[in-house]
A and B are shown apart, each in its own frame.
Chain A
Amino acid sequence: MIDTEVARTFDRRSALFLTGGAVLTSVLVLRMLEMQVFEYKSYLQKSERNSFRIQNIMPKRGNILSASGTVISRDAPIYRIYLIPEEAEDIEFVMNTVEKDLNLRKKTIERIWKNIKKQAPFQPVLITENSNWDILARLSAKNIPGIHIDNGFSRVYEMGPAGAQVFGYVGAPQRAIPNSPFFTTGINGLEKRFDETMAGIQGQNVMISNAVGRITGEDKTQYIAPTDGKDIKTTINENVQKVLYDSLAMNRAGCGVVLDIETGDILAMASSPSFDANNFKTDDGEEYISSLLDDVAKPFMNKAIEGLYPPGSTFKIVVALAALESGAINPNEKVFCPGYWEYGDHKYHCWEKKGHGTVDLYGALKHSCDVYFYQLALRIGIDAIKSMAIKLGLNQKYMDDVLAHEMPGILPDRRWKEKNVGASWVHGDTVISGIGQGFILTNCLQLAVMMARVASNKEVKPRLIYSNKKPNFKNLGLQEKNIKHVLTGLEQVTQKGGTAFGSAINVNGQKMGGKTGTSQVRNISKKERETGVLTNNQLKWNMRNHGLFVGYAPTDAPKYAVCVIMEHAGGSSPAAHATANVMKELLK
């Protein structure tokens, strides 16, 4: 028998449970009434919307074309096999069947399992693309639950790594579109900026299913055909683009821009190291991408507009023109270069330790004499230099409508330094600005524009999207004779004794002029200079100087302007060589 006190406790306390149980049960009943009686209509509507299965149809994405109409990136039709894990009764079994039938690699199987585990069970997992039709037919006849076969499109990048950062690539959208497996969207470059134009409009296929969930047919009345996307035609010349990229790829990292001086068309724009987006979808895609992300040389960066570099001696073109325009110098005026110039309490070194002897403007450009330009810069002052630099197109953005992340760079002056460095401008700042060092930063496209403007005396503006309308560039308003003085100097750069003599070209009598530049990434200490211990070859790669070259051709009637920057190449000759290669391709 149960102790009476204990029994009484049971009776007393069970009342609470009974009351609680009754209340909780009432809550359930009320909730059921609310849903099935009061809100019935709204739920019914939602459920009716559900009983059709809507499958969005991916439209064919527009191509990216070169100026001549050659395909750069296109949508290729493919067959695609995918799995919806939720629909498979036995995933192991399905995978085994598919593995045997399709002869899948071990790597592929691993990737599929990884995706199955990672994704929600109703999200499709790609098994393979582009199998041959016989295999597909056999697989399709088996009618394995969960396995779907579908035709769609896959992006093909015909140019591979050449300009991959410019053209961009497509990938899965960040927010998945419901009922739209494997839809893609532009991730970067032109693919991203022109996504709306190229994407097209998705179509819709409505499937009806019977009471037991099998699809019995399509509702033809609700079918909407997809609208193909529009092509984007660029100003790119695919051959020049390839030559430029191949030349860049000879160095660890670099970038280049090729301009048509008359139209401002960007004939080529490339950056290295680069990537091949065709590899992203392969089984090794993930590892490939992570190796790219780990690369310190930043393969995803479009260095031609995103990379900022001190222009180095290429900036002497700006200083020379500014001086000539201000009337401060006579091009024949001579300056003596002993290899250094002492000003104030500082000793400014010429890159040529032995000195250049007596040089005039032409000689100073030809040999890239630093001492000459130190003095010139100081004579005309930073403001005159800056306004000429702006006139020639530096410190401006050109690609805002087309590409993202363009960096305008820096053209310093008194106000800028006070605001950003917090110190007042000193003469030394002006002196080193004369050779494109100090605070000045430019990008590759800007330097190509500068070259184009000097060579044409026109306000050349670059463009990447093709138009058959020839732009009418304003005159820059510089005196023709001054332009002539500078170009005469630049012509000599590729002549015997010039800093780029090794890269001289002669295509049917057409020659190239230009200007070399090396820009310091680090300051050389006084001790290093005296002992001469460190030459560039002995430095770590990322401490070496950048090599630059801006060039134009043909010299007698300039048509093309090029800028090539080779990161940490030590000197300017790899950049000059690359420019010469590009010019040879253009002039042939």
Chain B
Amino acid sequence: MSTTRVSNANMMNFSEKLSRFSLVLFIPMCVVLFFSIVVLFSAGGGSWAPFALSQLIKIIFGMAIFFFVSFSNIKTWIKSAYLIYAIALILIILVTFVGDVGMGAQRWLSIGGINIQPSEFIKIALVLALARYFAWFNSIELSQFKNYLIPILMLLVPFILICAQPDLGTGVSLALITVGMFYIVGANKKWFLIAGILALLAAPVVWYGGMHDYQRSRIITFINPELDAKGSGYQINQAKIAFGSGGIIGKGYMSGTQSQQSFLPEKQTDFIFTMMGEEFGFIGAFMLLMIYTFIVIMLFWTAKTCRNRFGQLMCFGFMLNFFIYYFINISMVLGILPTVGVPLPLMSFGGSSLISLLFGFGLCQNAHIHKDQQLSSRGF
């Protein structure tokens, strides 16, 4: 395609945009969403209620957002990046002071009968804001520490609030996303070493001073789940039994004895991968993991081929977010990491995570569609 045409991409019309729409990014996403409905139908005991139908409605709503974002003008998102971050941050502040605590740790806000979890939105908002911030720095500016002070602040404010909620899983995810983005934009490698040492020194202080009893107990339980087979170890033990007993081909759809008989708590949310593994076995679980991997590779490819820095960083950040999301969740249900309460992206029951992710996928599609568009520095 000729550069002259696309450099004037403001003029791109809808059919042009449609022709640039990435199906390799879109289709695997839809496959996962389809799996989600299939598994939630089973989690409801072979019924559309209470999970599958409700999630389907959320998916339809999320898809509308996805398409809207995909085909919108990329400049809209550059302009509103900080505003979106600010809104997400306000929601986090609100939820910290007036939110309700659920069974786990994530807090939610009740707005007009809809429960929203701002900690899901902030993950996308932070990526967007960081991409916007770093997009027009040159390599010299990127090697100067002072230029990282604002992004550090952008991480720390929500990080502290979320860890205090206390939602350790999201907190750690935010930190990893930010560190990953610092690294890819070209931050000095020495800084990471120093930050690592500081974190190690802070660890005992956090353990004794900053953690809630139940968080400590979860970590202890993670190290030795047999200690407390009926307390906080119950969940993870039952999850492992469910997953392991699925074997290679699984117990069959809607025949997972563990999941179906409520031995498995939270099977529709954080532990949905376990249910997948129990009913569809290694084949099903592996397939899902491979689709996730494919999505990550496609997101990386989108970032790499993006010829404007904003789109590139946004896709890369979202890729990090997406990978961390499912890696933490799967590791947790397989007993590799402690139970921290992170949902499985696109699979778990719940609206906030789904909508944020579809918004994020929309941004990546948007970046892909506008990948050849040159964006002028600062003044757009």
Q: Which A residues are within 8 Å of any B CB, using their own CB? A: 1-3, 5-6, 9-11, 13-14, 16-18, 21, 24-25, 27-29, 31-33, 35-37, 39-40, 42-44, 46-48, 50-51, 53, 86-87, 89, 120-122, 176, 178, 209, 211-213
* Chain B residues positioned under 8 Å from A24 (CB to CB): 323, 327
* Chain A residues positioned under 8 Å from B238 (CB to CB): 50
Task: Known contacts A35-B334, A44-B244, A176-B230; decide if A213 and B45 are in contact (CB<8 Å).
Answer: yes
Return the contact of A212 from the options B46, B50, B304, B307 (Cβ within 8 A): B46
Return the contact of B139 from the options A9, A11, A122 (Cβ within 8 A): A9
B336 and A36 form a contact (CB under 8 A) = no
A122 and B336 form a contact (CB under 8 A) = no
A50 and B244 form a contact (CB under 8 A) = no
* B80 in the interface (beta carbon within 8 A): no
* Chain A residues positioned under 8 Å from B247 (CB to CB): 36-37, 40, 44
B336 and A6 form a contact (CB under 8 A) = no
B308 and A2 form a contact (CB under 8 A) = yes
Among A1, A27, A33, A47: residue with most chain B CB under 10 A: A47
In the complex, identify which listed stretch (B27-35, B167-175, B259-267, B361-369) lies at the interface while the others stay far away: B259-267
Task: Known contacts A21-B296, A50-B261; decide if A10 and B312 are in contact (CB<8 Å).
Answer: yes
* B286 in the interface (beta carbon within 8 A): yes
Task: Known contacts A24-B327, A36-B247; decide if A51 and B261 are in contact (CB<8 Å).
Answer: yes
Number of A-B contacts (CB under 8 A): 148
* Chain A residues positioned under 8 Å from B289 (CB to CB): 25, 28-29, 32
* CA gap between A33 and B244 in the complex, in Å: 9
Complex interface bits, B245-271 against A, C-beta within 8 A gives 1, otherwise 0: 111100000110110111101000000
* CA gap between A53 and B263 in the complex, in Å: 10
A32 and B248 form a contact (CB under 8 A) = no
* B151 in the interface (beta carbon within 8 A): no
Min Cβ gap A552→B in Å is: 56
* CA gap between A65 and B186 in the complex, in Å: 83
5 A-B pairs (CB sep. < 8 Å): A28-B331, A36-B281, A46-B241, A50-B261, A211-B257
Return the contact of A40 from the options B50, B244, B330, B334 (Cβ within 8 A): B244
Quick one: closest A residue to B251, CB to CB? A47
Min Cβ gap B38→A in Å is: 16
B257 and A35 form a contact (CB under 8 A) = no
* Chain B residues positioned under 8 Å from A25 (CB to CB): 289, 293, 327
* CA gap between A86 and B331 in the complex, in Å: 25
In the complex, identify which listed stretch (B106-114, B177-185, B340-348) lies at the interface while the others stay far away: B177-185
Task: Known contacts A9-B186, A40-B245, A44-B244; decide if A28 and B334 are in contact (CB<8 Å).
Answer: yes
Question: Which residues of chain B from 278 to 302 have any CB-CB distance to chain A below 8 Å in the complex?
Answer: 281-282, 285-286, 289, 293, 296, 300
User: Which range contains the number of B residues in contact with the other chain?
Assistant: 35 or more
* CA gap between A17 and B245 in the complex, in Å: 33
Quick one: closest A residue to B244, CB to CB? A43
Quick one: closest B residue to A31, CB to CB? B334
Q: What are the nearest 6 A-B pairs in CB distance? A: A43-B244, A47-B245, A5-B139, A212-B45, A35-B244, A9-B186
Task: Known contacts A21-B296, A25-B293; decide if A44 and B184 are in contact (CB<8 Å).
Answer: no
Q: Which B residues are within 8 Å of any A CB, using their own CB? A: 45-46, 50, 103, 137-139, 142, 180, 183-186, 230-231, 234, 238, 240-248, 254-255, 257-258, 260-263, 265, 277, 281-282, 285-286, 289, 293, 296, 300, 304, 307-309, 312, 316, 320, 323, 327, 330-331, 334, 336, 374
* CA gap between A32 and B285 in the complex, in Å: 8
* CA gap between A43 and B238 in the complex, in Å: 10
* CA gap between A86 and B230 in the complex, in Å: 14
B312 and A87 form a contact (CB under 8 A) = no
Min Cβ gap B360→A in Å is: 18
* Chain B residues positioned under 8 Å from A33 (CB to CB): 282
* CA gap between A87 and B245 in the complex, in Å: 23
B184 and A10 form a contact (CB under 8 A) = yes
B180 and A17 form a contact (CB under 8 A) = yes
A42 and B257 form a contact (CB under 8 A) = no
A36 and B282 form a contact (CB under 8 A) = yes
B230 and A213 form a contact (CB under 8 A) = no
* Chain A residues positioned under 8 Å from B308 (CB to CB): 2
* Chain B residues positioned under 8 Å from A28 (CB to CB): 289, 327, 330-331, 334, 336
Task: Known contacts A35-B334, A213-B260; decide if A2 and B312 are in contact (CB<8 Å).
Answer: yes
Q: Per DSSP, are chain A's interface residues mostly helix, strand or loop, or mixed?
A: helix
* CA gap between A2 and B316 in the complex, in Å: 15
* CA gap between A10 and B160 in the complex, in Å: 29
Min Cβ gap B105→A in Å is: 15
Return the contact of B263 from the options A3, A17, A50 (Cβ within 8 A): A50
* CA gap between A209 and B244 in the complex, in Å: 21
* Chain A residues positioned under 8 Å from B265 (CB to CB): 86, 121-122
Extra 12 A-B pairs, beta carbons < 8 Å, given A17-B184, A178-B230? A3-B309, A6-B142, A17-B300, A25-B289, A27-B336, A31-B331, A43-B243, A47-B244, A86-B262, A120-B231, A211-B260, A212-B46
B293 and A213 form a contact (CB under 8 A) = no
* CA gap between A39 and B335 in the complex, in Å: 14
Return the contact of B243 from the options A2, A9, A35 (Cβ within 8 A): A35
* CA gap between A11 and B330 in the complex, in Å: 28
Among A35, A53, A178: residue with most chain B CB under 10 A: A35
Quick one: closest A residue to B137, CB to CB? A6
* CA gap between A209 and B258 in the complex, in Å: 11
* Chain A residues positioned under 8 Å from B296 (CB to CB): 21
* Chain B residues positioned under 8 Å from A10 (CB to CB): 184, 304, 312, 316
Min Cβ gap B225→A in Å is: 13
Return the contact of B50 from the options A16, A53, A87, A89 (Cβ within 8 A): A89
* Chain B residues positioned under 8 Å from A5 (CB to CB): 138-139
A29 and B241 form a contact (CB under 8 A) = no
Return the contact of B309 from the options A6, A14, A44, A176 (Cβ within 8 A): A6
A50 and B258 form a contact (CB under 8 A) = yes
Min Cβ gap B234→A in Å is: 7
Return the contact of A14 from the options B243, B304, B323 (Cβ within 8 A): B304
B186 and A13 form a contact (CB under 8 A) = yes
Quick one: closest A residue to B3, CB to CB? A1
* CA gap between A50 and B262 in the complex, in Å: 10
Quick one: closest A residue to B250, CB to CB? A36
* Chain A residues positioned under 8 Å from B312 (CB to CB): 2, 10
* Chain B residues positioned under 8 Å from A86 (CB to CB): 262, 265
Min Cβ gap A445→B in Å is: 42
* CA gap between A400 and B260 in the complex, in Å: 52
* Chain B residues positioned under 8 Å from A42 (CB to CB): 244
Quick one: closest A residue to B306, CB to CB? A2
* CA gap between A328 and B68 in the complex, in Å: 114
Task: Known contacts A9-B139, A16-B183, A50-B258; decide if A35 and B46 are in contact (CB<8 Å).
Answer: no
B261 and A53 form a contact (CB under 8 A) = yes
Task: Known contacts A37-B282, A50-B257; decide if A122 and B243 are in contact (CB<8 Å).
Answer: no
Quick one: closest B residue to A43, CB to CB? B244
A43 and B241 form a contact (CB under 8 A) = yes
* CA gap between A267 and B235 in the complex, in Å: 53
* CA gap between A28 and B330 in the complex, in Å: 8
Min Cβ gap A436→B in Å is: 52
Min Cβ gap B263→A in Å is: 5
* CA gap between A1 and B3 in the complex, in Å: 11
* CA gap between A14 and B331 in the complex, in Å: 23
Quick one: closest A residue to B50, CB to CB? A89
* CA gap between A359 and B177 in the complex, in Å: 99
A36 and B261 form a contact (CB under 8 A) = no
Task: Known contacts A32-B286, A33-B282, A36-B247; decide if A47 and B242 are in contact (CB<8 Å).
Answer: yes
* Chain B residues positioned under 8 Å from A31 (CB to CB): 331, 334, 336
